[in-house]
Structure 1
Amino acid sequence: MLKKLIFFTSLFILSSITNLKAQGCVAIRHFSSCVGSSLENNLLGTGDLQIGVNYRYFKSFRHFRGTEEEPDRLSNNTEVINHSHAWDFFATYGVTERLYTSITIPTVINTRSSLYEHGRDERNVTFSRGLADIRFGVGYWLFDLEKSPNGNLALGLGVKLPTGSYNASDIFYNVGPNGEPQTRPVDQSIQPGDGGFGITLDFQVYQKFATDFFGYASGFYLINPRETNGTRTFRETLSPILENESIMAVPDQYSLRGGLSYTLTPSFSTSLGARFDCVPVKDLLGGNEGFRRPGNVLSVDPGLSFMKNNFTINLNVPFAVRRERPQSITDLQTEELTGNPRNGDAAFSDYVINLGVSYRFANNKVKLSPEIEDTFKTN
């Protein structure tokens, strides 16, 4: 069908637009848009089904306060090291030529190595794994895909369910009254879920600029109305001034991405762009109490994509060029209470590996009308 040929032409050029994944950072946890911001997953004909998995890995270890790095944490061996592995299993279905729906089932395996969480005398590792927060939603292309093959805009609306554990626990050493180990919730950065029902708003847009050159942009915002989830951090045991950080917050999160894509061959395309990932200091809805690590990362985002028939592979490796851990609400509260400057730190990664594999089951029941066949022959 003509519309499918148009779809695949766009896919060859823009298939490097992978799901938005947060830049590896203690402040910014794993998340992607619930309807999927991957163009090749959403350009579907009526009855088409796309299934696949997106894998992400990062190692965060560089500590920042504000935009200033603290290199002494590495030289003193006091840095916190997170290893994060995430798999997003997704399915996207074309309800009509322009309306699509999607579900994402994420799973994670995380480790966290630190000194300060284990009495500061020896480094130990805590661990979490399992189902994360499931997302589902719908998206709609605003313009007819056959009449607008060189550019389009899609808007999406979704829901995030609190299916992931937000009080996963492990053993912490040298922390009991007599220095004995205790079982406690792991750090917020490696919890599989955040404990809140969320609403996601997302968009994706592409536009042809020249032969084999397209521009793209996409983004999402996760609204988490719940203020705190009741999970204890035990940060108040480190210092009495951290009493206001004793319970985990349920923060918002957003991500933006844009750049250019170039077709190398009918099967290979490449892209280069920028991305910005953020956990804001304040949420759009609800209160802002509880412990959170606000932070943002600006990255250069190169990508490579391969498509053959209905099979697609995407690889993106964004490299951080600017990292910031701003003052949180609890930092400001402590600063006002004590009269001393306060800005917590966060550990960020240098890069993130995002790898996606998908397969499209095409619905071939719809036949071309003679008018469409004639139109295609004249193109």
Structure 2
Amino acid sequence: FDVVIGNPPFISYYARRSAKLDTATLRYYQANYDFITDTKLDGKFNSIMFFIERACKILSSNASTFFILDIAFNDVPYRYIRKYLLENSSIIKLLTGLSEFENVYSDQILLQFTNEPLEKRNNNLVHYYSNFKNAKLNYHEVEQKLWLSNKLFAFALPHDNNSEAIFIKIEKFASLHESFPSKLVRTCLSLAGHEDEFLLENNKSKRINPILNYIQNAKNLPERYSKILNPVQVVYDEELKDKLNQFYRKDAYNEIRRQPKALGLGSLFAFTHPKLFVRQSADRIIATYTDVDCAANTSFYIISEKDEDGIESKISLKYLLAILNSKLLSFYALEKKIIITGDKKQPQMMIKPFKTLPIATLPTKDQKSFVAIVDKILSAKEKNSKADTSELEKQIDKMVYKLYELTDEEIAIIENKN
């Protein structure tokens, strides 16, 4: 073909409302598609990935493909198809910020590429339009090879020198995962459409099970440092979980699917010890601390200071809370696409990128000045959920800037972004 134009079907095989992918189809994809280099993915695919590779392979020499794609193409699960494209094609044009389709509640991108491998073009320049509505004002030329050099193969604009200088200072510190290893950072309850059956008011278990407060949505955690507002109560019912999972295993067997749908209750130890809850979906990092027995759904991450296996962090939760809720960390998360945003797209922060956030480490005694201010904020919010703690939060921001050794000029960049 000389030209391929399309709007490939967007069918997810891994998201919450995913389509079913049977074992035979999965094995076929793994055997016949070159972008799948990691067989451990086991179904973290979307139909558009396969359309993209097929388009590359059926094109005539130097012919073009034009695809309209969902903005989810920028998300982590798509990193391998992005890598495949970067290595096996020349990206001609990328236009972002499309949101013109009625009744479509996400943004789109327009992607044009040829099947000429990058290695045959010494310096392919991508015509990048960062905003569809003002295309001429938001035109950039980007070297394609730069996208191959980042870990996630992200199709994104390179940062200016001032931002890069800030990133260098931030990234000299260890990641969140290094400071809170193993299962100290994890997801919460995964009830797969059966939430109502675990709510205290509906649960029919005759056994005595732990009862926990339960965070259902963003309204329960509306802002940084907020107390948990109006939680419902949920029963930590392992018997019900096992019964439902047994049904899903049987269903998967009957439909020849390798991976059954599964419910998970998370760690009771984590829920019944001091912890941080972090919202997965927000246009900035929003986290809070609680020592009340509490769980949450999969829209939240939970961070523990220690776990049931004896693994323990040297960083206090309240110190970490100060760092996470700072303007600096949200700036970094947005600029580095750890938080993925769009005009229509609900902001998302996936757990693997979240764990890469660089967290400045301090001796325990030096964390106390941060903890003291955090205690004041939490106390004020506990007494009055609408308490104005902005001045205390500004104090923390200044301390964080100093901790990461930012200059006045660099601080101004971040403050202007916020």
Quickly name the TM-score band, shorter chain normalised.
under 0.3
Structure number with higher relative contact order (C-alpha < 8 Å, ≥ 6 residues apart): 1
More helix by share: 2
TM-score (ref. length: structure 2): 0.20
More strand by share: 1
TM-score (ref. length: structure 1): 0.22
